[in-house]
């Protein structure tokens, strides 16, 4: 993070993807999905990252952050989930017809 232009998330991505170091990089996309899925009530990405690290074992962090991003891109867009396309959202929010609004970090 001491390098110019490298923030917390970028440093985490490099550490886990390039070096295999356990990290759970959280961007606004993962932050919104974690809120929608009731995995956090964090008001920013750092709080959400801490909550997710408590919920999941360290050996899953590197893959899980990519899996959440891919699930969001393919199935459950963080800004427009309506509880119809995503099985996880269907279970968490049965009968929902309107989009779930996640808090902006």
| Known catalytic membership, residue 97 | no
The Cα 44–Cα 23 span in angstroms is 17
C-alpha 24/C-alpha 52 separation (Å) is 8
Contact 23, 61 (CB under 8 A): yes
**Catalytic one among 9, 51, 90, 103?**
9
Q: Is 103 a catalytic residue?
A: no
Catalytic residue chosen out of the listed positions 27, 53, 54, 91: 27
Residue 34 to residue 44: CA distance in whole angstroms: 11
* Pairwise CA distance, residues 105 & 8, whole Å: 15
Catalytic residues: 9, 27
């Amino acid at each position: 993070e001491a390098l110019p232009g490298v923030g917390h998330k970028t440093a985490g991505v490099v550490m886990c993807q390039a070096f295999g170091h356990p990290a759970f990089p959280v961007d606004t996309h993962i932050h919104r999905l974690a809120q929608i899925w009731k995995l956090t009530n964090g008001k920013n990405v750092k709080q959400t990252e801490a909550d997710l690290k408590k919920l999941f074992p360290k050996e899953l962090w590197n893959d899980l952050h990519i899996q959440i991003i891919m699930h969001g891109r393919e199935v459950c867009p963080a800004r427009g989930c309506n509880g119809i396309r995503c099985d996880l959202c269907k279970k968490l929010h049965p009968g929902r017809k309107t989009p779930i609004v996640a808090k902006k970090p």
